[in-house]
């Protein structure tokens, strides 16, 4: 199942300051509810985990987050997420494109979900992802 979402958010710094924050994966990933960095694997890459609640179910995904494109002049970064459901056959892969400016930013997310999470139905998955990203962008505004 594919889901595309767009969000805007505020940040208090200049475009350069905000871009540096967004590109700091060890700072940004814990802003995702249930997200944590397990290990830094490179300058722009980490192993990470997230526990996602979908109704009565709770699922843990483990994988990698990597900044695969970075344009400092345009204040644009593309993060690629590849994860597998712990103990299951499903995966949650995504790209998150950040465009940053003074005091604000936008986030375009494309996600592909399979397994138990996808079996919940498109409406549930869309709602959970939208709420998760809304919470995330709210926390970004406090960085």
Distance between CA atoms of 46 and 120, rounded to whole angstroms? 29
Distance between CA atoms of 54 and 115, rounded to whole angstroms? 13
> Tens digit of pLDDT for each residue in 98-110?
999 999 999 999 9
Distance between CA atoms of 50 and 77, rounded to whole angstroms? 21
Kind of pairing between the strands at 35-42 and 57-71: unpaired
Q: Taking Cα atoms as reference points, which of 58, 62, 27 lies closest to residue 140? A: 27
pTM for the model stands at: 0.94
Of the pLDDT bands very low, low, confident and very high (cuts 50, 70, 90), residue 121 is confident
Domain containing 123 equals 2-140
Q: What CATH number corresponds to the domain at position 25?
A: 3.30.530.20
Q: Taking Cα atoms as reference points, which of 20, 37, 45 lies closest to residue 98? A: 20
User: Residue 91: pLDDT above 80?
Assistant: yes
CB atoms near residue 46 (< 10 Å): 20
Distance between CA atoms of 96 and 133, rounded to whole angstroms? 10
> Tens digit of pLDDT for each residue in 41-73?
999 999 999 999 887 788 999 999 999 999 999
Domain count, the chain: 1
Contact 92, 61 (CB under 8 A): yes
Tokens, residue 14: 């200049």
């Amino acid at each position: 199942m594919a889901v595309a979402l767009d969000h805007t958010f505020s940040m208090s710094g200049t475009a350069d300051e905000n871009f540096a924050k967004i590109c700091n994966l060890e700072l940004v990933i814990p802003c995702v509810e249930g997200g944590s960095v397990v290990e830094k694997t490179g300058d722009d890459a980490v192993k990470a985990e997230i526990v996602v609640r979908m109704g009565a179910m709770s699922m843990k995904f483990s994988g990698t987050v990597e900044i695969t494109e970075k344009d400092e002049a345009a204040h644009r970064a593309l993060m690629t997420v590849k994860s597998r459901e712990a103990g299951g056959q499903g995966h949650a892969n995504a790209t998150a494109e950040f465009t940053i400016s003074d005091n604000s930013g936008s986030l375009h997310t494309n996600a592909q979900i399979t397994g138990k999470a996808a079996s919940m139905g498109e409406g549930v998955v869309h709602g959970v992802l939208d709420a998760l990203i809304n919470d995330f962008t709210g926390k970004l505004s406090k960085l």
